[in-house]
Amino acid sequence: MEDSSFGFGYMNPQLYLACFSARSYTMQNFSTTPCWTGKIYSSFCQILSGRVEFQLNDRTLSGTAGDIFYMPEGAQYCSRWTGSPEIKFIGTYSRFFATNEIGTLYNGQPSVVPLDRQFAFQKIEDLGQFRALDDMSDILQNYYKGTEGQLLALSRFYRLMARAFPLLERQKVHPIIAAIMPAVSYLERNFMKNDPIPVLAGFCHLSESRFYHLFQQSMNCTPVEFRNQLRAGYARQLLSGSELSLEEIGAQLGFESQEYFRRIFKRYNGLSPSQYRKSKETDVSI
């Protein structure tokens, strides 16, 4: 019997490119620190001029002209760009879906790790092996040249992925039940909001009880606990990298009270917010 799942019959592809775009950015004598939230798409970022410092939860990465970074979906970071006279970089933005992300509900497969989340946020060191600089330039030049140009840009993007794939450092990511991925992605981007469980379940087209069960099964925590983990991580960045008061940080993160903010922060970081900030000011390792 012919397998007609997903409309591809016996071909049964393993990946779908769900979306793709490319853009260039130029800023004059500018330094900025964007909000530390989860990325919606995966990106290749090529620096043409200027400098950047990415502050991740566990490390700092820096780059200058000629460097390329891979930034996976869901990555959380602060970035600071500086340049004289200008900052300029190229970015590609994409998202892949695997067939079993869709088929989980029907085939009983327990969980998946989407392609975009399999790799760590990283600088790609060995550019010469796969001509990444040439591919990035070709992608941008062709992307805005109508349909034919976009098809050519896509071909260059697939070539870039094929060449980069064996060089990328993988990260340990707990498999996520595909049915709850929309809610996980939403929480990573909107953890400052206090959306109720029915809203999150609605993103997944699941009943509230079914969603809650699958979320706990996959993430080993409740949706509220997951959101608080994200908030606690972002709070560390604000405490060590900003002059905001504890009250301002708690309010920005969406906590209903300062007492709740302090309790959640200490649960996931082992210190109170004030103790954590003081340890960073005195360069105490924790």
Among 167, 199, 231, which residue terminates a domain? 167
pLDDT, tens only, 248-275: 999 999 998 999 999 999 988 888 999 9
Query: Is the domain of 21 the same as that of 163?
Result: yes
Top pLDDT among 17 and 149 is at 149
Is 142 in the same domain as 39? yes
Claim to verify: residue 130 and residue 234 sit in the same structural domain: no
Q: Do 106 and 240 belong to one domain? A: no
Residues 134 and 23 in one domain: yes
Whether residues 148 and 188 share a domain: the answer is: no
Question: How many domains, in total, are found in the chain?
Answer: 3
Q: Are residues 198 and 265 in the same domain?
A: no
Structure tokens, 82: 């500086």
Q: Mean of the per-residue pLDDT values for the chain?
A: 81
The per-residue b/e assignment along 180-199, b for 16 or more CB within 10 angstroms, e otherwise, is: bbbbbbbbbbbbbeebebee
Contact by Cβ (8 Å): 89, 24: yes
pLDDT for 163-219, tens place per residue?
888 888 888 777 778 788 889 888 988 899 999 999 999 999 999 999 999 999 888
Q: 145 is written with which tokens?
A: 């040249």
Is residue 61 domain-shared with residue 157, that is, in the same domain? yes
Mean pLDDT of 84-91: 88
Read off the pTM: 0.68
The H or E element containing residue 279 is: helix 273-281
- Region 3-30: mean pLDDT is 66
Q: Per-residue confidence at 101, pLDDT binned at 50, 70, 90? A: very low
- pLDDT surpassing 60 at residue 159: yes
Question: Residue 237: which CATH number?
Answer: 1.10.10.60
pLDDT at 80: 83
Q: What's the rounded mean pLDDT across residues 82-96?
A: 87
The whole-angstrom separation of Cα 236 and Cα 258 is: 15
- 188 and 98 in a common domain: no
19 and 75 share one domain: yes
Q: Which domain holds residue 201?
A: 178-220
pLDDT at 135: 83
The token pair that represents 147 in the structure block: 């349909």
User: How deeply is 286 buried, as exposed, middle or buried, from its count of CB atoms within 10 A (0-12, 13-18, 19+)?
Assistant: exposed
Residue 9 placed within a domain: no
Res. 38 pLDDT band, cuts 50 70 90: low
Looking at 8-17, 102-111, 225-234, 246-255, which range is the least confident one? 102-111
> Whose CA is closest to 40, among 111, 136, 114?
114
Average pLDDT of span 67-71 = 92
Determine if the peptide bond prior to 85 is cis (ω within 30°): yes
Give the CATH number for residue 125. 2.60.120.280
Position 9 confidence tier, pLDDT thresholds 50, 70, 90: very low
Least confident of 45-49, 113-117, 248-252, 265-269: 113-117
Domain annotation covers residue 153? yes
Judge if 36 and 126 occupy the same domain.
yes
- Residue 58 belongs to some domain of the structure: yes
> Do 91 and 143 fall into the same domain?
yes
The angle that helices 132-143 and 146-164 make with each other, rounded to 10 degrees, is 160
Q: How confident is the model at residue 142 (pLDDT cuts 50, 70, 90)?
A: very high
Average pLDDT of span 88-104 = 71
Q: Is residue 49 within 8 Å of 69, Cβ to Cβ?
A: no
Q: Are 173 and 159 in contact (CB under 8 A)?
A: no
